Chains A and B, each alone.
Chain A
Amino acid sequence: MRKISIVTDAHQMPRNSGFPAEKFNDLLAWLNPDSEQASSTYLNLRQSLLKIFAWNQCADPEGMTDETFDRVARQVDTLRESFKGNPKLFFYGVANNLIKEYRKKIKVHVPIEGIELPEAAPGKHDDEEIFEKLRECLTKCLQKLPGDKRDLILAYYAKEKHAKIVHRAALAQELGISVETLRVRMLRIRTGLEECIERCLDEDVKKK
């Protein structure tokens, strides 16, 4: 079965989606009839669902976001005919059901995180290695960022406490945007950077 290949950013695609590309196109069309805008609506919705699953402390936000899209895609033909209202709310309804299912599941199973295990404290070598690797991935991922974004994130976090407030106001003014908009823009850049660092750290674990 052909897999989805519409969205350009590879890591944004559903990972283990079993539904065909045609269904995905139907899903996009249902989200937004304008094909140009449908893609960005999808990406925004995907990011929002990821956040919601993370806020609800779900162990695998990406997997659950994929599952949400899978579940909606299976019903998209019926939905196009019968659902009235904002399609995003239907997605949220499915996501919320998944959150409830997840909560039930972790109540039934003894949470691993809650068990007091004898602490296998990482040794000096492990700690240093982790710190070293994190630093290496951070540098690597910062280099991958476009220059303007890299400069912006470094400038944004360059000061703290009271100095930070004045500094960020000046940055926002320089960019001709509000401090709030700057903060959201920064969060998006930082989220992308964090994802890159996580992938980099995971790759390192896989290599071992």
Chain B
Amino acid sequence: MKEEPVTKEVARRFLLGAVDDSERQRIESLFITSPDVQATLLSAEEELFDDYFEGGLSVSDSAKFVERFGRGERQQRKLNIAGSIRNYALSEGQRNRASSSIVEKFRHLISLPAVGGRRLYIPAAVTLVLLVIAAIWLAQWNNQRQSDADLRLALERELNHLNSPSNLTQEQTYVSVVLPPLTLRSSNQSSQTVSQTAHQIVELQLLLTRKQELQNYRAVLRRVGSADEFILPGLRPAKSSAGSVVKLRVPARSLPRGHYLISLTGSPDAPGEEYDFVIGG
């Protein structure tokens, strides 16, 4: 009988534990002896981790993944480490994109237009003054950037802590706000406002509308007009007086005022839902 080549698909099935024992042994011995199979398997594993952290696995694959790669304390720790590397790189990427766009704007400001095919040259003195101003501005901007980064890190830490599985299972007396998805809101209904001064921490209950509940959800929180995103994976559905919800705790006091959007996704097969709220004074 001709043996099935170890394709990406076969590798994925193997990694999710969906092959029998003889197939497992066949693939493992090829992994040991064939550089091509080794590359296929390692590449498939990397892709699988990407899909898991991006919420791109189907419900059953997600369950298989957790069973294979997140069982027991040691494996969970490994998974947390892998997730933290991705989150760190993502936030670094966002920060770099934001800073490079400002530099681009700055560069645009100091470039001069061409007149009659000839470029105008600024006198050295003007350049020097501009450079000094730019240096002062850059230093101030850099300080601001650093403080923004510290603020973001603190916020990310707090959000992760508030929404960690161990914390979410504990009953806390937070003020709850039920948010229906945007698709269900009538046009004359305004966004829920959360008062920063009245509430320190608010539990947002994101109302689930689909009949089929998924095991895990992933929320992406962002302020409208800001490139910063906070990704919160591994949120579980819960029952509340409003129905099935996904609870998301936010530190109202630490969030800058403004309009916020939350994208909630559970599986790649089902479209996600969006929710919004306003942080007011």
Interface residues of A (CB under 8 A from B): 45, 48-49, 51-52, 55, 57, 59, 86, 88-89, 91-92, 96, 113, 119, 121-122, 124, 127-128, 131-132, 134-135, 138, 142, 153-161, 164, 180-181, 183-184, 186-188, 190, 193-194, 197-198, 201
B173 to A: closest C-beta gap in Å: 14
Contact A180 B78 (CB under 8 A): no
Q: In angstroms, how far is the closest chain A Cβ from the Cβ of B198?
A: 22
CB within 8 A of B81: which of A48, A134, A160? Answer: A134
CB–CB A161/B170 < 8 A: no
Q: Which chain A residues border B58 with CB–CB below 8 Å?
A: none
Q: Would A187 and B45 count as touching, CB distance under 8 A?
A: yes
The answer to whether B50 has its CB under 8 Å from any CB of chain A is: yes
What are the residues of chain A within 8 A of B28 when measuring CB–CB? 52, 55, 92, 96
Since A88-B33, A154-B88, A183-B42 are in contact, a sample of 11 more A-B pairs with Cβ atoms closer than 8 Å, ordered by chain A residue number, is A59-B72, A59-B74, A92-B33, A121-B167, A135-B157, A138-B88, A157-B89, A157-B93, A158-B92, A183-B46, A194-B82
Any A CB within 8 A of the CB of B130: no
Question: What is the interface size of chain B, counting residues whose CB is below 8 A from a CB of the partner?
Answer: 46
Question: Total A-B residue pairs with C-beta atoms closer than 8 Å?
Answer: 124
A35 to chain B, nearest CB (A): 21
Q: Shortest CB–CB separation between residue A198 and chain B, in angstroms? A: 7
Q: How far is the CA of A81 from the CA of B32 in the complex (A)?
A: 22
- Which of B105-113, B158-166, B238-246, B254-262 forms part of the interface with chain A? B158-166
A131→B161 contact, CB < 8 A: yes
The 4 closest A-B pairs by CB, nearest first: A158-B93, A157-B89, A121-B166, A183-B43
A27 to B155, CA, bound (A): 53
Q: Which of B33, B93, B166 contacts A154 (CB 8 A)?
A: B93
Contact A154 B84 (CB under 8 A): no
Contact A128 B161 (CB under 8 A): yes
A193 touches B160 (CB 8 A): no
Contact B32 A89 (CB under 8 A): yes
Q: List 5 A-B contacts (CB under 8 A).
A: A89-B29, A131-B157, A134-B84, A161-B54, A183-B42
A136 to chain B minimum Cβ distance, whole angstroms, is 11
Complex formed: what's the CA distance from A156 to B115 in Å? 42
A153-B85, A158-B92 known; A122 and B166 CB under 8 Å?
yes
